[in-house]
Homo-oligomer: A and B are copies of this chain.
């Protein structure tokens, strides 16, 4: 059986669900009176008071919190290994005093889930990765904690947990974006521990970008999810670049969700705008611009998942970062089929097809993107 690793797959552990149930503002979980699946209201645009609470947001079923459902999804789609991560909005909203406690609790929970599943699949630890079902994880960080010291401490603690391979992070950082100089100790800790940071969107764009609430209401989640999410990721990583994060931490490793948002496509335009910016010293101004080019960062610091649902995006990702930096993913449990979950998920098969269509002449590259790259980059064994 070929090794297939899913690097983009989310969980809401039971403890996290319980915390969301206790909340009344976004993000929160509401149990409908009709005994149907709980409703998850995670985006502020979901929290539409004109919609009855029982129908607000999206239904979440056991695929979000029951690891056995994920394992069965993996079997159905030929995935032997998943690197699970807490879904958005992670711990961004947690009370500062409780942030560290929640990070430790969630990350210990992730470690335990991985250990239990891996032990059951291979009690004697005699099988290779492609012969069994394995889980690894990206940890959550206490970014709302009073000081970045808690974040650094958690990164160092994660390094000691057997199944943790990096961290997942949103775009708000300590609340002011990823170009915030107060994050330098965090980047330093990630670089030092050689832990990969999985950068993932959650906040999207202000609603006016789409024409206001009227438009968003008309088209449901399409504009915020299809366009807002990828652009949020692109803005976040571009702000890191512009502020010199990659100059100061040249060995930082970042996995960008959704094949980089739009970074591979816009890289040339970003580079051109930087070279033409009068505010930067290179353009006659007084602000230090980035010293390394976007192209260099894309091939040195950036990894891209292959969750882009089509050949044009995947080709751009490959040309920008290299096929040795592309990693298969599913975004499970989001985007389930709307008819029956018993069938294979189009959101997954579309990405499989795009990988085959892009690399069809080279089966080694297909195998690398599907699993080999992840095993090497994340040191999975």
Contacts and interface: CB of A to CB of B under 8 A. Distances in A.
Interface of A: 58, 176-177, 179, 205-206, 208-211, 215, 218-223, 225-227, 230-231, 234-235, 238-239, 242-243, 258-259, 262, 264-280, 283-285, 287, 295, 308-313, 315-317, 319-320, 335, 338, 346-347, 350, 354
Interface of A: prevailing SS? helix
Residue of A176, A220, A258 most packed against chain B (CB within 10 A): A220
B308 A312 contact: no
Q: Lowest 3 CB-CB distances: which A-B pairs, in order?
A: A268-B310, A268-B309, A220-B279
Contacts of A210: 235, 239
Contacts of A258: 269
B312 A319 contact: yes
21 contacts: A179-B211, A205-B231, A209-B209, A210-B235, A210-B239, A215-B239, A218-B243, A219-B239, A219-B279, A220-B279, A220-B285, A222-B274, A223-B235, A225-B273, A227-B235, A227-B262, A230-B262, A231-B231, A262-B266, A269-B309, A276-B347
A268 B221 contact: no
A346 B275 contact: yes
Nearest to A207: B206
A262 to B, nearest CB: 4
Contacts of A176: 211
A266 B227 contact: yes
B267 A313 contact: yes
A347 B316 contact: no
Contact of A309 (B272, B277, B347): B272
B269 A215 contact: no
Query: Which of A265, A272, A335, A338 has the most chain B CB within a 10 Å cutoff?
Result: A265
A335 B347 CA distance: 40
A222 B206 contact: no
A265 B226 CA distance: 11
Contacts of A285: 220
A48 B243 CA distance: 22
A87 to B, nearest CB: 16
Contacts of A309: 268-269, 271-272
A265 B265 contact: yes
A242 B266 CA distance: 24
A295 B215 CA distance: 23
Given A219-B277, A276-B338, A350 B268 contact: yes
Nearest to A273: B226
Contacts of A230: 262, 266, 269
A312 B264 CA distance: 6
Given A211-B176, A231-B231, A239-B211, A273 B316 contact: no
Contacts of A215: 177, 179, 239
A130 B211 CA distance: 44
A218 B58 CA distance: 38
Nearest to A231: B231
Nearest to A180: B211
Contacts of A239: 210-211, 215, 219, 223
